[in-house]
Structure 1
Amino acid sequence: MTETSKLTLSSGEMQLVTNTEWILTKRIIIGKVNLFFGAVAVAMQDIVEAEREYLPAAAIMSAPKIAKGENYGQLPYVLLDYPRCFEKENIFAIRTMFWWGNFFSCTLHLSGSYKTMFKQALIKNSTALQQNNLYLCISNNEWEHHFEPDNYVAANTIDIGEINKILSQQHFIKVAAKFSLHQWHEMDVLLQKSFSDVLHLLKY
């Protein structure tokens, strides 16, 4: 293949490269997600304040952080981390994610001392995982966010014994709620509810 042929565009690619509207629309959408996550973060802070008696001090003191990127699975994304305690060996975080073309999600992430601190509460509340249509991470990689079968399993598709086995044996715990992008107009309510739901899993 010559260098010139590598630069040849298909008809679809030519339509995109000569059209500025789609990339400008993409920037507008990402901007709206950023603003939306800012508003959601305020509501989340109110929820944390109401539940502070059983949460770690570091989590209560943390501030929301919004970040965006262009290349998770080669697609844009926006993250809201709150609460956020990311230490080398110990993690206590709830990550809300928008992933272009895929989903919104809300994920509780525990490792190290925080997993030890809350594992029994999660086991005690394991039926709530099923009732709230939550997912459990079964992967060894705690930094993957997709919901393919090698990464997450729906809690309502396995029995309580299997749920408790996952909670006990994984070196970290990730519990997530997933929402279709078609639910966009009700996402503020859905994300606030899922945030509250995963926090309540920690209440013994």
Structure 2
Amino acid sequence: MENFDLTPEEAAIAGNADFIRLKNRVIEKVILLLGELQDALVKVEEGIDFPFAAHWKHSGGKISKGEQYKGFPWVMMDYPRYFSKEEIFAFRTMFWWGHYFIATLHLSGGAKEQFSTALKDAYEPLKAGGFQVYLREDPWEHDFENGSYAYIEDLSLEDWNKLISRYDFLKLAKRFEIGDWGEMISGVATTYATLLDALHGKTGY
């Protein structure tokens, strides 16, 4: 039989209603933050000439939340978001309690194929921008733990090109610390703009 006795630390948390109140308020503020972020991403799009396919933008944004991503609460916003078996074009911003925010561009199928050449050409600006590329075969891990990602600056151009062609999907991401809360919106919006420029071949290199 498993031991169900509470440790002193567990008992203190279980009897502390303020902890849950604070946790709920934090989640509410994360949701508000992500709502403001979506507005900032829309403004990024209004300021550029990017070849969005109509169906990539049809669904609008979506904010989701849960309690157990690898044991911790999470909130995520997908904007833009298009997910199908044949194709994915999505920009996901995720808050992971006790860890960080992660902003991820996820491409697969036709969307990935459309931009593969531009991505290969964007090696230098993406490397300079501190981006990381996803390494695993399962595309549905959302964090930087256990070697899921590698900094592009740590890859040779040859390795970068191989990774782009390795799977039928590609994920590029940047990490933002929770302590940098006040810079989150501008930081992620800049990340989104940089990625769109890279996909569109407007890298400045």
TM-score (norm 2): 0.93
The structural deviation recorded for 1:186 is 1.4
Question: After superposition, where does 1:2-13 map in structure 2 within 5 Å?
Answer: 6-13=3-10
Higher mean C-alpha deviation, range 84-93 or range 184-193:
184-193
Residues 63-104 of structure 1: CA distance to partner in whole angstroms, max 9, x if unpaired?
111111111111011111011010112100000111101111
The structural deviation recorded for 1:179 is 1.2
Match of 1:159 in 2: 156
Match of 1:174 in 2: 171
Q: Which amino acid aligns with 1:108?
A: L
The structural deviation recorded for 1:145 is 1.0
- How far apart are the structure 1 equivalents of 2:56 and 2:46? 10
- How far apart are the structure 1 equivalents of 2:30 and 2:197? 26
Question: After superposition, where does 1:1-204 map in structure 2 within 5 Å?
Answer: 1=1, 6-204=3-201
- How far apart are the structure 2 equivalents of 1:77 and 1:169? 29
Do 1:59 and 1:84's aligned partners in 2 also have CA atoms closer than 8 Å?
A: yes
What SS is found at the alignment partner of 1:34? helix
Aligned sequence identity (%)? 35
Summarize the Cα distance change of 1:80–1:31 in structure 2 as closer, same or farther, 3 Å threshold.
same
- How far apart are the structure 2 equivalents of 1:168 and 1:41? 30
TM-score (norm 1): 0.93
Higher mean C-alpha deviation, range 46-55 or range 20-29:
46-55
Unaligned runs of 5+ in 1: none
What SS is found at the alignment partner of 2:26? helix
Do 1:81 and 1:94's aligned partners in 2 also have CA atoms closer than 8 Å?
A: yes
Moved over 6 A (4+): none
Do 1:49 and 1:60's aligned partners in 2 also have CA atoms closer than 8 Å?
A: no
Superposition RMSD in Å? 1.4
- How far apart are the structure 1 equivalents of 2:117 and 2:182? 36
Unaligned runs of 5+ in 2: none
What SS is found at the alignment partner of 2:136? coil
Residues 4-25 of structure 1: CA distance to partner in whole angstroms, max 9, x if unpaired?
xx33111001101111111110
What SS is found at the alignment partner of 2:145? coil
What SS is found at the alignment partner of 1:62? coil
Q: Which amino acid aligns with 1:144?
A: E
Q: How many residues align?
A: 201
Do 2:92 and 2:103's aligned partners in 1 also have CA atoms closer than 8 Å?
A: yes
Do 2:79 and 2:90's aligned partners in 1 also have CA atoms closer than 8 Å?
A: yes
What SS is found at the alignment partner of 1:78? strand
